[in-house]
Structure 1
């Protein structure tokens, strides 16, 4: 990564209306709280083009708003080929969407792909962020719990990279 270039994170789920926009909004909030918005760019997308240009699910927005996260400006979009080149971290919410990303991703960028929950420190039994779309409000609360923790781990990981660069004199 070049000097002054932002670290770019893309959160991915299926339709980009529940899980990935929740991760997007939570991470933007955490990045701002850490004073790193000049260094980190956040976006979200879906592996399927079901909901292009639609706002996040109302239930996801309601749950997020209760915790102080704003999702109103977000609109669904599909993962595009240039995302694989542009983003440094492309984090899927579950193994099915990760597999889709792996199939679509040019070979030279596969190292950027992963599962968001690999950054979790509190939720060992959860390896994926399950889709809450067909469930009740509890599912949206669980998504927030998982995303808040995993995003904190991701932020610590990224900040560790910044500290390493500073220690190396970059």
Structure 2
């Protein structure tokens, strides 16, 4: 913000001869145009700050839950957007955040798709983007992992050491 030029108040003495008096201890004054300019600068900066704070609030934490429409490859986000994949879904295509709202992307598991025998619990940080393959059960967000001789054993060790979330 640029500086404001301040002036000392000058008083006019309406006595004979109309002399102008100067009081060195008088109040500081600023020109109205200077005041208006600085006020406008301050207001513009405050609006930018408010907008930045709102973006931080909007993106801070939270999840955007995505669900698939049958086997069509069409996915609906929790924030109201739609995305289409030719093969697989968002997790298999490396998407960890919603392309619209920026929140952490969580895939809603359809009831008929859920296989309790192969359901993995979230990692210790609460991430649900977990999977098992090649003898390793791992979180795709924070790289937490459990290794074993087989994928089934890694899966079982993961769930044994990661309690199911309370619902």
TM normalised by structure 1 equals 0.20
Larger % of strand: which? 2
Larger % of helix: which? 1
> RCO greater where, 1 or 2, for CA within 8 Å and sep 6 or more?
1
Compare CA radii of gyration and give the structure with the larger one. 2
TM normalised by structure 2 equals 0.21
